[in-house]
Amino acid sequence: DRTVADATCTACGCLCDDLIVKTEGGRIIEAVNACEIGRRWYFADHAHEGLPAATIEGRPVEPTVALDRAAEILGQARAPIVLGLTRTTTETVATALAIADRIGAVVDPDTSDGDRARLLATQRVGRVSATLGEVKNRADVVLFWGVDPVVTHPRHWERYSVEPHGRFVPDGRAGRTIVVVNASRTATAERADQFVPVAPEAQLAVLTTLRALLRGASPDPGRVERTTGLDLKTLRGLIDRLKAAKYGAWFYDARLGSGSGGAARIEAALALVRDLNSFTRFVILGLGGPGNPAGAEAALTWQTGSPSSVSLTRGSPRTMPGVTSAEALLAGGRADAALIVAEGELQELSEAARAHLERIPRIVIGPKATAPGSAATVGLDAATYGIDAGGTVMRSDGVVLPLRPPLNPSTPTDREWLQALETRIHSHVS
């Protein structure tokens, strides 16, 4: 029985690293400081009892047999892809990348169109950013755009953005102005100082109008109302409020980039925040998804120069948005084998992409990858990061955090499986 202090919860993008997790008889019995979502994560069934360590086509086999089969599939594939990677440690991502490099695969942790749009927009415009610690200590105006952290990131409000007593915001909540822009009055909007209703299809018009107002333009009020659904006075009031901040922090997420015109919306938001810095200090941060998407993107960038959709098929990294993405390769029927590490966001793939994925051999490494009903060609059951597997993850603001798992692993970690696979692949690469 043990008590682990400063454990890091991976159940949402907050990655709270102040949990105290108690165990008894090899089970977690308490997760102090965790919110409801965090408690659900810690108290979920993470046990491996009764599961085979390895399977081929659903049949339990010796791990060495499964690893040999996986190495054979990947070593002989002409167009392999490596997917998942967002629900595991950064160290595991680096190991998966070494395999991808060896077999000449396409690596793509970001399978949602919103994430792809976010990355492209950030590359085109740049992003004025900061750590959450800086936001906590300095931000006196906080804008939540199209997000509802009170529901999705329950401790964001108390830990980082609204309630903390910061060095230059000693009064905490009382010293901050909170603005919410969203389609409807969310739980976060209920607790904000100002709520501005903006329909999803009007977001781009609102962002570009705000930017025009910031630059001193005098747009036609009728036209503004038609395109944004808001009167000019409201938008002037909003931009004045943002300009008057001593330090402003803007929070968004990948939904801003989802659907048609997503990249343009994110570019407009990034450009507006950049321009606000002519008047005051303003930063823009993603709320971050569950797990370690930032770590996966960072590891890819460190090793290949690009955060997603990287093709290693020609011996050097190439990225062509829309061509080297997992979605394009799968939907176009070109991928012929997949290594899926910690399944992550695969539900974001289109129906056509998922249908092709089901037709090709899949090596799945992750917690419960060998459970009955798993569709893996080769399944390798792995310990769960933050529960019985250690390592580091990266918060959306780039801060690296150790996991401090409360339980000892009773099955290999995904990294250990990958290392064993890598040594075998050498003899199979054709």
Q: Which residues bind ligand SF4 (CB under 6 A)?
A: 9, 11-12, 14-16, 34-35, 37-38, 153-155
Nearer to ligand SF4, 154 or 317 (CB): 154
The strand pair at 177-182 and 141-145 is best described as parallel
Nearer to ligand SF4, 313 or 392 (CB): 392
Q: How far is the CB of 191 from ligand SF4 (least distance, A)?
A: 16
Q: In the 8-state DSSP scheme, what is residue 158?
A: I
Q: How far is the CB of 378 from ligand SF4 (least distance, A)?
A: 32
Cα angle 346, 122, 253; round to 5: 50
Nearer to ligand SF4, 35 or 340 (CB): 35
Pair of tokens at residue 262: 């997503």
b/e per residue, 384-408, with b = 16+ CB within 10 A?
bbbbbbbbebbbbbeeebebebbbe
Residue from 156, 95, 102, 160 nearest 131 by CA: 160
Q: How far is the CB of 280 from ligand SF4 (least distance, A)?
A: 29
Nearer to ligand SF4, 154 or 366 (CB): 154
Q: How far is the CB of 197 from ligand SF4 (least distance, A)?
A: 26
Nearer to ligand SF4, 7 or 382 (CB): 7
Q: How far is the CB of 151 from ligand SF4 (least distance, A)?
A: 11
Beta strands in 242-323 (DSSP E): 247-252, 281-286, 310-311
Nearer to ligand SF4, 89 or 411 (CB): 89
Q: How far is the CB of 156 from ligand SF4 (least distance, A)?
A: 7
- Per-residue HEC secondary structure of 409-424 comes to CCCCCHHHHHHHHHHH
Nearer to ligand SF4, 10 or 304 (CB): 10
Calculate helix-pair angle for 203-214, 221-228, nearest 10 degrees. Answer: 150
Asked if residue 41 lies in contact with residue 10, where contact means CB atoms within 8 angstroms, the answer is yes
Q: How far is the CB of 155 from ligand SF4 (least distance, A)?
A: 4
202-205 long-range contacts, Cβ below 8 Å, gap at least 24? 202/227, 202/228, 202/229, 202/230, 203/146, 203/256, 203/265, 204/261, 204/264, 204/265, 204/268
Q: How far is the CB of 135 from ligand SF4 (least distance, A)?
A: 15
Nearer to ligand SF4, 116 or 155 (CB): 155
Nearer to ligand SF4, 136 or 153 (CB): 153
CA dist 250 → 24, 116, 230, 395, 424 (Å): 42, 20, 20, 16, 47
Nearer to ligand SF4, 151 or 244 (CB): 151
CA dist 12 → 41, 207, 221, 231, 249 (Å): 10, 27, 41, 36, 20
Nearer to ligand SF4, 4 or 199 (CB): 4
Backbone angles phi, psi at 345, to 5 degrees: -100, 35
Calpha distance 366→379 (Å, rounded): 8
Q: How far is the CB of 36 from ligand SF4 (least distance, A)?
A: 7
Strand order in the sheet with 378-381: 59-60, 54-56, 378-381, 362-366, 337-341, 80-84, 106-107, 310-311
Q: How far is the CB of 143 from ligand SF4 (least distance, A)?
A: 20
Asked if residue 113 lies in contact with residue 259, where contact means CB atoms within 8 angstroms, the answer is yes
Cα angle 190, 196, 199; round to 5: 110
Helix (H, G, I), strand (E, B) or coil at 374: coil
Backbone angles phi, psi at 133, to 5 degrees: -65, -40
Calpha distance 249→128 (Å, rounded): 10
Q: How far is the CB of 140 from ligand SF4 (least distance, A)?
A: 23
